[in-house]
Amino acid sequence: MSGERRKFRREGEERRRDALIVAALELIAEGGPGGATVRAIAERAGVTPGLIRHYFASKEDLTRAAYRAVMTALSGDNAAVLEAAPRDPLARLSAFVAAALRPPVVDPQRMGLWAGFIHQVRRDPAMAAIHAETYLGYRDLLEQLIAALPGMAPDRCRQHAIACNAIIDGLWLEGCALPSAFAGGELERIGLEAAGAVLGVVLTAPAIQDIAP
């Protein structure tokens, strides 16, 4: 029974910690990082400011956790498409690139959150470490998908992953910042064509139902 109580308490604390992160993200999305004060976060989460310090050593610690949550969710939503993707390497890479340039990954609010955090990456080594970890994790997955392509030279996979990631990032930013400037499916078509040109393959956009997580 004591083990069950410890597990229940641990899960309860994780939920409260997650609720504080969600509250911080909501406030940052609404008013930028300056609006996510300790008091505002506590009010939004329905707790006392003192409770925040039970879970986070400082406001900066909470900010880092919120940034990690944003980046992890973005990568996770993109990678989720692979669970139902075909085994064919070209089809899997196509599905991954297309999903990166469609909702819910392409989302103005998510870009706003990312932009609210990114300037802190240059000032805070801990934020820079989170950025490096999440960026490299995403790029490593992309590299694995590229390496699985038939005839792909192993010594070029890293460079190809960097180039394709840059294509995805650039189109993601434009699609989030000015979604009305692009026709339906235009971003993914450009992304697939550009990534295919880098890799020397033809990447074809799957149907939406084929890449839904």
CATH number (domain holding residue 78): 1.10.357.10
- pLDDT tens for 95-114 read 999 999 999 999 999 999 99
Which residues fall within 8 angstroms of residue 105, CB to CB, at 6 or more apart? 74, 77, 78, 99, 172
State the Cα–Cα distance between residues 151 and 162, nearest whole angstrom.
19
Q: What CATH number is given to the structural domain containing 42?
A: 1.10.10
Q: 31, 56, 81: which is the final residue of a domain?
A: 56
Note whether 79 and 46 are same-domain residues.
no
- The count of structural domains within the chain is 2
Tens digit of each residue's pLDDT (9 = 90 or more) over 147-174: 999 999 999 999 999 999 999 999 999 9
Distant-in-sequence, close-in-space partners of 151: CB < 8 Å, separation ≥ 6: none
**35 and 71 part of one domain:** no
User: Residues 84-99: pLDDT tens digits?
Assistant: 999 999 999 999 999 9
Determine how many CB atoms are found less than 10 A away from the CB of residue 136: 11
What is the pLDDT at residue 210?
44
Q: What range defines the domain where residue 10 resides?
A: 1-56
Of 56, 71, 86, the residue that ends a domain is: 56
pLDDT reported for residue 213: 44
How far is CA 129 from its chain centroid? 15
Q: Average pLDDT of the chain? A: 90
Q: Are 18 and 93 contained in the same domain?
A: no
51-61 per-position pLDDT tens digit: 898 999 998 99
77 and 140 in a single domain? The answer is yes
Do 17 and 81 share a domain, yes or no? no
Q: Are residues 94 and 141 in the same domain?
A: yes
186 and 121 share one domain: yes
Q: Which of 19, 39, 56 is the last residue of a domain?
A: 56
| Residue 51 CA neighbour count, 13 Å, CB half | 17
Residue 10's pLDDT band (cuts 50, 70, 90): low
Q: Is residue 51 domain-shared with residue 109, that is, in the same domain?
A: no
